[in-house]
Chain A
Amino acid sequence: MKRFGRGIATIMFGFGYGEGFPDYSVASIEFAEDNKILVRTAAADVGQGVLTVVVQIAAEVLKVSPEVIRIIPGDTHLTKNAGSSSATRQTFFTGNAVKNAAQALLSNIYHYASIEFRSNYAELSVKGGYVFRVDQPNNKISFWELAQKVKEKGEILRAEASFFPRTNKPNPETGRGEKVYVAYTFVTQIAEVEVDTITGNVQVLKIYTAADIGKAINPQNVEGQIEGGAMQGIGMALMEEQVLKDGVTLNANLTDYLIPTAMDMPQFETCLIEKEDSDGPFGAKGIGEPGTIATAPAIANAIFDAIGIRFYDLPITPDKILKALKEQKDKKL
């Protein structure tokens, strides 16, 4: 027999290292000879898409097509510290560093162009890799020509910037601190499940997610983080457990350490709420970790709704469910 249930969980996540730990990212932007713009960042793209975020932000500020932008990725001898791709921090930290660098570069473009055009900043504009006079749009110079002219003067048209917000070290006795984390992401998930009372297996049917992420730089990628995170949450709730007996792992393989397959996938419905954060790049907050946090408790609550049994330890395996169902039945008798 199958029993249906649904449960809700709401979570918060203070992102960045916070707690007064120095947390910053450095990025730089320069012009390459092949009419490309080079962004240097050590931010590790582990699949989440930070380098795409970097391209989008640089393109946005510099008003160029994203195809023009090329990235020099992580190399300790070619890029500066961007901090880790963890703590849900890269969109916020490296996003801001790149935004700051792009803005600094843009300022310099205006500065040098105003010399070229013998004009004032206010009379200039940029678009598609050109800087031009607003009143004479045909009177334009490309960024790369401008960079060449700057080079001829013995200077370099490039910019480096960082983002280094302050947080406070919490009081060791009380945890109190004025700003312990730079900002918080909030997520609510509702899980719908079906519990098979013959086998104790749980099928997650649907996951609804509403996430306050400030601003989605790339909505598709934000959804990807949420769906992937939720799937890991399903694993945590129902099947994943590294079994250690006297310090020895009994399931160090993918045969007995189970992660969800496509067959375990529920339907996903996701809604992004954009309550822009005053410090985030274009208002963005992070979503890397928060996507996974609410799922396991939402499922546990849904299982309670389905069979009236609450589980206090994860994962909630078929063994535990059948045992509890049997005890429930024995109690009623």
Chain B
Amino acid sequence: MKNQEGQYFSPQQIPEALEILSKYGKEIKIIAGGSDLLVQYHDRLYEIAGWLDLKNLTELKKIELNSSEVSIGAMITHSQLEKSPQIKNYFPILSRAAAEIGSPQIRNRGTIGGNIVNASPAGDLLSPLIAYEAKLVLLSSDEKNIIPAEQFFTGPKKTILKPNQLLTQIILPLPPQNCYSSWVKVGKRKALAISTIALAMVVKMSEDNQIIQGAKVCLSSIAPTPLEIKEVREEMIGKTFSQVNFTKLAQLVEDKISPIDDIRGTKEYRKEVARRIMIHCLEEIYSCWRDKCLPIN
């Protein structure tokens, strides 16, 4: 395929893509799966001056595992994420979140990179990624930045990504052996639903599986960006499960969020349901922990 007028680029190599970005920057739109972009520009595609299509960048279509981390290429689709044995094994709620996105058609096209860069407050992968302490690799032709995912989002549909930068990889540190997670997405319908609220929780335990060493609770659709309730850490870390008051934690989550009323749910609903799903997630994690501690003979 030939591009005659500089309006459609589909480079084979990342450096080439970065070069195009540094040259055209704001003028062109980066397109991955297109499942958000083409919705946004429905009936007015003519407003777009040009495209940078990432579809030929095979470098971005890999999931790689080493001894300490997993690196996910930005062009990995939700379907691939859902089905990847590594993701299922190490990051089960990321796999589940991917499995519950939209529909088979959307999951086959939509990508993890697109989901992140689009920065929708309801982005399905965002809260699990933050809960798993993901880092993002941002490349431009002159520098490489690796930043924690939670620093990436600045508002609804707003990020720190510069026009000359490309999100290439998502890096997830491998969790310790005793790691438990839970995830709930609440929508008004079972499929093709945009979340009214979603909560991801990851709890890391000590080697002997007794002391909580890490606790991350992250919610989406309740604030302009995905939001970690950092106070949960203080309430949990260093304690055993029996020392943790679930009701109090759930109330804490409810109190710490100030969602808005919109077409998908009222503020009251979101606060109420946040508390209820927090308890649900804690109970789920607790019961997994208990099953592991006390194997039924």
A residues at B contact (CB < 8 Å):
197-201, 239, 243, 250-251, 254-256, 258, 260-264, 317-319, 322-323, 326
Tell me which residues across on chain B come within 8 A of A261, comparing CB atoms: 189-192
Tell me which residues across on chain A come within 8 A of B233, comparing CB atoms: none
Q: How far is the CA of A251 from the CA of B263 in the complex (A)?
A: 8
Do A260 and B189 touch across chains, with their CB atoms under 8 A apart? yes
Tell me which residues across on chain B come within 8 A of A260, comparing CB atoms: 189
Do B191 and A198 touch across chains, with their CB atoms under 8 A apart? no
Additional 20 contacts, C-beta under 8 A, given A256-B194, A262-B191: A197-B276, A198-B273, A198-B277, A199-B186, A200-B273, A239-B188, A239-B189, A254-B192, A255-B194, A256-B263, A258-B192, A261-B189, A263-B191, A264-B189, A264-B191, A318-B186, A318-B188, A318-B269, A322-B272, A323-B269
Do A198 and B188 touch across chains, with their CB atoms under 8 A apart? no
CB proximity of B273 to chain A, nearest CB, Å? 6
- Whether a CB of chain A sits under 8 angstroms from the CB of B264 is yes
- Whether a CB of chain A sits under 8 angstroms from the CB of B79 is no
CB proximity of B257 to chain A, nearest CB, Å? 15
Q: How far is the CA of A254 from the CA of B103 in the complex (A)?
A: 13
- Binary interface encoding of chain B residues 263-296 relative to chain A, with 1 for a CB under 8 A from any of its CBs, else 0: 1111011001100110110000000000000000
- 5 A-B pairs with C-beta separation under 8 A: A199-B184, A251-B263, A258-B188, A258-B189, A264-B189
CB proximity of B277 to chain A, nearest CB, Å? 6
- Whether a CB of chain A sits under 8 angstroms from the CB of B196 is yes
CB proximity of B282 to chain A, nearest CB, Å? 12
Q: How far is the CA of A257 from the CA of B39 in the complex (A)?
A: 15
Q: How far is the CA of A252 from the CA of B189 in the complex (A)?
A: 17
Do A323 and B272 touch across chains, with their CB atoms under 8 A apart? yes
Tell me which residues across on chain A come within 8 A of B268, comparing CB atoms: 319, 323
Q: How far is the CA of A261 from the CA of B272 in the complex (A)?
A: 26
> Chain A residue with minimal CB distance to B270?
A319
Do A319 and B191 touch across chains, with their CB atoms under 8 A apart? no
> Chain B residue with minimal CB distance to A197?
B276
List 3 tightest A-B contacts by C-beta distance, closest first: A263-B190, A319-B269, A263-B191
CB proximity of A157 to chain B, nearest CB, Å? 54
Do A200 and B269 touch across chains, with their CB atoms under 8 A apart? yes
Tell me which residues across on chain B come within 8 A of A200, comparing CB atoms: 269, 273
Specify which of A197, A250, A262, A318 lies most central, judged by the most chain B CB atoms within 10 Å of its CB. A318
> Chain A residue with minimal CB distance to B186?
A199
Q: How far is the CA of A281 from the CA of B26 in the complex (A)?
A: 68
Tell me which residues across on chain A come within 8 A of B186, comparing CB atoms: 199, 201, 318
Q: How far is the CA of A261 from the CA of B184 in the complex (A)?
A: 20
Q: How far is the CA of A23 from the CA of B222 in the complex (A)?
A: 55
Tell me which residues across on chain B come within 8 A of A254, comparing CB atoms: 192
> Chain B residue with minimal CB distance to A320?
B269
Tell me which residues across on chain A come within 8 A of B269, comparing CB atoms: 200, 318-319, 322-323
Using C-beta atoms within 8 Å of the partner chain, give the interface range for chain B.
Answer: 20 to 34
Tell me which residues across on chain B come within 8 A of A317, comparing CB atoms: 188
Quick one: which of A197, A198, A319 contacts B265, CB cutoff 8 A? Answer: A319
Q: How far is the CA of A106 from the CA of B81 in the complex (A)?
A: 66
CB proximity of A327 to chain B, nearest CB, Å? 11
Tell me which residues across on chain B come within 8 A of A319, comparing CB atoms: 265-266, 268-269
CB proximity of B271 to chain A, nearest CB, Å? 10
Q: How far is the CA of A262 from the CA of B103 in the complex (A)?
A: 11
Specify which of B191, B196, B276, B279 lies most central, judged by the most chain A CB atoms within 10 Å of its CB. B276
CB proximity of B293 to chain A, nearest CB, Å? 25
Tell me which residues across on chain B come within 8 A of A197, comparing CB atoms: 276
Given A201-B186, A323-B272, does the pair A318, B196 have CB atoms closer than 8 Å?
A: yes
> Chain A residue with minimal CB distance to B102?
A255
Q: How far is the CA of A201 from the CA of B273 in the complex (A)?
A: 11
Tell me which residues across on chain B come within 8 A of A251, comparing CB atoms: 263
Tell me which residues across on chain A come within 8 A of B280, comparing CB atoms: 198
CB proximity of B193 to chain A, nearest CB, Å? 8
Q: How far is the CA of A117 from the CA of B193 in the complex (A)?
A: 70
Q: How far is the CA of A250 from the CA of B263 in the complex (A)?
A: 8
Tell me which residues across on chain B come within 8 A of A323, comparing CB atoms: 266, 268-269, 272
Do B273 and A318 touch across chains, with their CB atoms under 8 A apart? yes
Q: How far is the CA of A144 from the CA of B58 in the complex (A)?
A: 68
CB proximity of B159 to chain A, nearest CB, Å? 22
CB proximity of B259 to chain A, nearest CB, Å? 12
Do B272 and A243 touch across chains, with their CB atoms under 8 A apart? no
Given A250-B263, A322-B272, does the pair A199, B277 have CB atoms closer than 8 Å?
A: yes
Q: How far is the CA of A262 from the CA of B192 in the complex (A)?
A: 10
Do A263 and B189 touch across chains, with their CB atoms under 8 A apart? yes
Q: How far is the CA of A226 from the CA of B6 in the complex (A)?
A: 55
Do B190 and A264 touch across chains, with their CB atoms under 8 A apart? yes
Tell me which residues across on chain A come within 8 A of B263, comparing CB atoms: 243, 250-251, 256
Tell me which residues across on chain A come within 8 A of B189, comparing CB atoms: 239, 258, 260-261, 263-264
Do A326 and B272 touch across chains, with their CB atoms under 8 A apart? yes
Tell me which residues across on chain B come within 8 A of A322, comparing CB atoms: 269, 272-273, 276
Tell me which residues across on chain A come within 8 A of B194, comparing CB atoms: 255-256
CB proximity of A266 to chain B, nearest CB, Å? 12
> Chain B residue with minimal CB distance to A321?
B269
Q: How far is the CA of A254 from the CA of B106 in the complex (A)?
A: 14
Given A239-B188, A261-B190, does the pair A199, B265 have CB atoms closer than 8 Å?
A: no
Tell me which residues across on chain A come within 8 A of B188, comparing CB atoms: 201, 239, 258, 317-318
Q: How far is the CA of A272 from the CA of B186 in the complex (A)?
A: 38
CB proximity of B284 to chain A, nearest CB, Å? 11
Q: How far is the CA of A308 from the CA of B194 in the complex (A)?
A: 29
CB proximity of A92 to chain B, nearest CB, Å? 36
Q: How far is the CA of A45 from the CA of B39 in the complex (A)?
A: 32
